Each structure stands twice: as C-alpha cells, then as structure tokens.
Amino acid sequence: MPIEKLRWLVLSSLMAALTAVGAYVYVPIGPVPIVLTTLFALLSGLLLGSLWGLVSMGLYVLVGAMGMPVFAGGMGGFSHLLGPRGGYLFGFMVAAWLTGFISERSHGLLIWEIFAIIAGSLAIYSLGIPYLKMVTKMTWPKTFMVGMVPFIIGDAIKASAALILARAVRPILNRQLHTASTFIPNLPSTHNPGSIEKEDGSSMERENS
C-alpha cells in the first residue's frame, strides 16, 4: 500500500475512533438521543475531504454494526442500523462526503465552508427523518418534532464547533503531512531506468553507447 494512502487511512481510523468517543457523550431524549457524533461527521469531511471522510464514517458504522460498542451510549450491533437511529447513522456517511466535497472546492473561503456544514447537517436529517418515520410509523409532524426540532440548536452549535476546529487544525495537519512526505525516500522503482544518479542525488540521462 502506498505510504500516502496509508497515512490517510490512519487519519480516517483516528477520526472514526473520535466519533466513537463522541457517541458516549449523549442525552437520551427519545428514540434518537442527542450525541456529539454529528460534530465528528462534519469535522471528518472538513479535514479529510469527501473520500476519506466517507471512509472514516463508513468505518465507524461498520465497526458498530459488527457489535463494537461505538454507537450512542456504548451500544452496538447490526440491529441499530435497522432501528430508529439507522437513518442518522447512514446520514453521517453522506454528511461527511458532502461536507468534504463542498469544502474541497471552497478554496478556503469561509462562506463556502459554512455552506458545506449546513449541507452536511441537512443530509443527516434528510436520511434520518424519513427512516425514523418508516420504522416508528409516526406521522410526519410528530416525526419532525421527535427527530429534528430538539436537535436544531445543538446541531448548529456542533456544526460551528466543527468549522472552528477544522480551520484551526487544518494548517497543522497539512504541515505535518507535508513534513512527513519529505522523509519518504525515493524507491529505486520510481527512478527513471534510463538515468543514473549523481553524487549530489540528482539524476542525469545515460548516454547511449
């Protein structure tokens, strides 16, 4: 596996682990509890981008579905994907991808990153609310009252925190990634087979005899 891909996989795994930690900070208010997971779903997209943000949240959901206690309140198991919280869990993956997709094209502009976290937050609701209604058979008004209204203020705060953290951590992360890449030696297979290496490390083309 290329070292660059391995680094991103490690970062994705770390974000998945932080998401699991965030799931332990929860307030049970009904079929869907208040958790910090939303913050890390958005943060993964902002920091890791669309692909690796999706990988991170996919890993989190996969580990939880396998039975590890990483869902809200230390719960786990495949049944949670089929329960009232299942849509929100799938929504975390979509939110990470969508937030990352927009952020990657924001060129660092704050207004676009604000749009990214809003879109990501709405993506969670867009999957979570219909899924909640399907599982619980509640009416649409009651589903919104149970699955969205109690979370709006908290999710706005978590989204703002994710944006602040991302803009603070991103320069450090980019600097660390750049520094690490300078220590990767050039493998022989990456060299031009038609060149020889000078003493100073640069290369020159072999002369045809």
Q: What is the 3 state secondary structure string of the chain?
A: CCHHHHHHHHHHHHHHHHHHHHHCCEECCCCCCEECHHHHHHHHHHHHHHHHHHHHHHHHHHHHHCCCCCECCCECCCHHHHCCCHHHHHHHHHHHHHHHHHHHCCCCCHHHHHHHHHHHHHHHHHHHHHHHHHHHCCCHHHHHHHHCHHHHHHHHHHHHHHHHHHHHHHHHHHHHHHHHHCCCCCCHHHCCCCEEECCCCCEEECCCC
User: What is the β-pairing status of strands 26-27 and 203-205?
Assistant: unpaired
Among all chains, which residue has been given the structure tokens 């198991």? 77
| Between 55 and 173, the higher pLDDT residue | 55
pLDDT at residue number 196? 43
Q: Does residue 98 surpass a pLDDT of 50?
A: yes
Q: Count Cβ neighbours within 10 Å for each residue of 48-75 and write b for 16 or more, e otherwise.
A: bbbebbbbbbbbbbebbbeeeebbbeeb
Q: Per-residue confidence at 151, pLDDT binned at 50, 70, 90?
A: very high
The 10s digit of each residue's pLDDT in 21-55 is: 999 998 998 899 999 999 999 999 999 999 999 99
- Burial of 198 (C-beta count, 10 Å sphere; 0-12/13-18/19+): exposed
Q: Does residue 179 surpass a pLDDT of 80?
A: no
CA distance 71 to 81: 10
Any idea which architecture 3-175 has in CATH? Orthogonal Bundle (1.10)
The answer to whether the beta carbons of residues 65 and 80 sit under 8 Å apart is yes
The 10s digit of each residue's pLDDT in 71-81 is: 998 999 999 99
Q: Per-residue confidence at 195, pLDDT binned at 50, 70, 90?
A: very low
| Between 207 and 174, the higher pLDDT residue | 174
pLDDT at residue number 181? 63
CB-based contacts of 205, cutoff 8 Å, min separation 6: 192, 194, 195
Q: Does residue 183 surpass a pLDDT of 70?
A: no
Q: Which of 10-19, 39-48, 180-189 has the lowest mean pLDDT?
A: 180-189
pLDDT at residue number 30? 86
Q: Tell me which residue of 46, 77, 45 sits closest to 61, measured CA to CA.
A: 77
pLDDT at residue number 180? 66
pLDDT at residue number 200? 46
pLDDT at residue number 177? 80
Structural domain boundaries of the chain?
Answer: 3-175
Mean predicted lDDT score pLDDT of the chain: 88
